[in-house]
Structure 1
Amino acid sequence: MFQRIVTFFEQQSFGVSAYLANKFNMRTSKVRLFFIYSSFLAVGFPILFYFLAAIVLDIRTYMKKVRLRVWDI
């Protein structure tokens, strides 16, 4: 049961850590650890930032798909 929950969250992690790691040329695990440690120190503010970044990245990928469809016509 626990393994299914972990697998679900790994598949649905929105790609924020991977995106930031690619931008800053770091490993993904370091970015994830930064979010975990900073959320303990900043009382959850990084979690709010993570979800906002996930929304922005999702909208950004959606807009790229829409933009490609318009130019394909």
Structure 2
Amino acid sequence: MKRLTDFLESQSFGLCSALGQRWGFSTRSIRLSFVYASFFTFGSPIVLYFAGVFWMNVQRAMRQQRSTVWDL
């Protein structure tokens, strides 16, 4: 079961694990919160999820593009 979860997390966007590491919550509880909130609010957290994924990818791209003084 752990290998399946790791595979799915590596193939998906990884937003829940990034939020879990940053806030100190388990990844599973964050995923369940997104699922339950989606059921109760008719899918609006999905929009927030994709906005978070977009922001996370923008930050990752900005970190990769930064050059240091030592780069020529």
If the length of structure 1 is used for normalisation, what is the TM-score? Answer: 0.78
Say whether residues 1:46 and 2:45 are aligned partners: yes
Work out the CA distance in 2 between the residues paired with 1:25 and 1:48.
Answer: 23
The count of residues paired between Structure 1 and Structure 2 equals: 65
Q: Percent identity?
A: 34
Counterpart amino acid of residue 13 in structure 1: S
Work out the CA distance in 1 between the residues paired with 2:35 and 2:65.
Answer: 34
Report the Cα offset of residue 24 of structure 1: 1.5
Extract unaligned runs of 5+ from structure 1.
1-5
Runs of at least 4 residues off by over 2 Å = none
Residue 59 of structure 2 aligns with which residue? 60
Q: More relative contact order in 1 or in 2 (CA 8 Å, sep 6+)?
A: 1
Residue by residue over 1:11-54, the C-alpha shift from the partner in whole angstroms, topping out at 9 and shown as x without a partner, is 33211101111121011000000000000011111111001100
Counterpart amino acid of residue 35 in structure 1: F
CA RMSD, Structure 1 to Structure 2 (Å): 1.8
Extract unaligned runs of 5+ from structure 2.
none
If the length of structure 2 is used for normalisation, what is the TM-score? Answer: 0.79
Work out the CA distance in 2 between the residues paired with 1:13 and 1:51.
Answer: 12
Residue 30 of structure 2 aligns with which residue? 31
